[in-house]
Amino acid sequence: MSSKEVVFIIEDDRNYIEIYEQVLCSEYQIVAFNSALAALEKFKELDPKTILLDLNLPEMNGIEFCRKLFSEYCSNTDVDIIFVSGESDPKMKFSAFEEGAVDYLTKPFEIKELVYKVNGSIQRRLKEEHLVSDALENKQLIYTTMAQASQYSQVMSFLKT
């Protein structure tokens, strides 16, 4: 598997999939699906950092995908969802955010905006992972230091007697 970060594309329009692949493939490992169900099947295995998600898909729409993803596969802090849709109804956008989206692009969109949003998402995810890793290392260091201090205290008490 590539060392590039994984970005899922869940889109039923082949033209948009080609656009995404062309502009993002140099930086990221792009895995495209025309089915939300197929993306769910590969989610745990490929562990994407970001998902570009069409709102209107066959089988299940983007909102349903988010509900299933966040109830059965991960929490909404594990992956960034960026909705990309021709739907401009504010109610649909609000629904997307309520279901865990971090961003929303309306089709047609500016390529540069798409790239900035994906890059920002990936960088944010990587920083969060590093912070969690650092926190775990610090916690382990604290426990080790406390255990050593306790042992030194016991040795000192023993030597005093």
Q: Is residue 135 part of a domain?
A: no
Q: Is residue 138 part of a domain?
A: no
Q: Is residue 112 part of a domain?
A: yes
Question: What is the structure's pLDDT at 160?
Answer: 74
Contact 80, 102 (CB under 8 A): yes
Which one-letter DSSP state was computed for residue 33? E
Number of domains within the chain: 1
Q: Is residue 55 part of a domain?
A: yes
Question: What is the structure's pLDDT at 40?
Answer: 95
Contact 6, 46 (CB under 8 A): yes
Q: Is residue 46 part of a domain?
A: yes
Question: What is the structure's pLDDT at 134?
Answer: 66
Cα(152)–Cα(158) distance, rounded to whole angstroms? 10
Contact 57, 10 (CB under 8 A): yes
Question: What is the structure's pLDDT at 161?
Answer: 66
CATH number at residue 24: 3.40.50.2300
Domain that residue 53 falls in: 6-128
Question: What is the structure's pLDDT at 154?
Answer: 75
Cα(65)–Cα(59) distance, rounded to whole angstroms? 10
CB atoms within 10 A of CB 11: 22
Question: What is the structure's pLDDT at 26?
Answer: 94
Q: Is residue 70 part of a domain?
A: yes
Q: Is the pTM of this model over 0.75?
A: yes
Question: What is the structure's pLDDT at 54?
Answer: 95
Q: What is the CA radius of gyration of the chain?
A: 22
Contact 100, 70 (CB under 8 A): yes
Q: Is residue 76 part of a domain?
A: yes
Question: What is the structure's pLDDT at 159?
Answer: 72
Q: Is residue 61 part of a domain?
A: yes
Local confidence pLDDT in tens for the 161 residues of the chain:
458 999 999 999 999 999 999 999 999 999 999 999 999 999 999 999 999 999 999 889 999 999 999 999 888 778 999 999 998 889 989 999 999 999 999 999 999 999 999 999 999 988 888 777 766 777 777 777 777 777 777 777 777 76
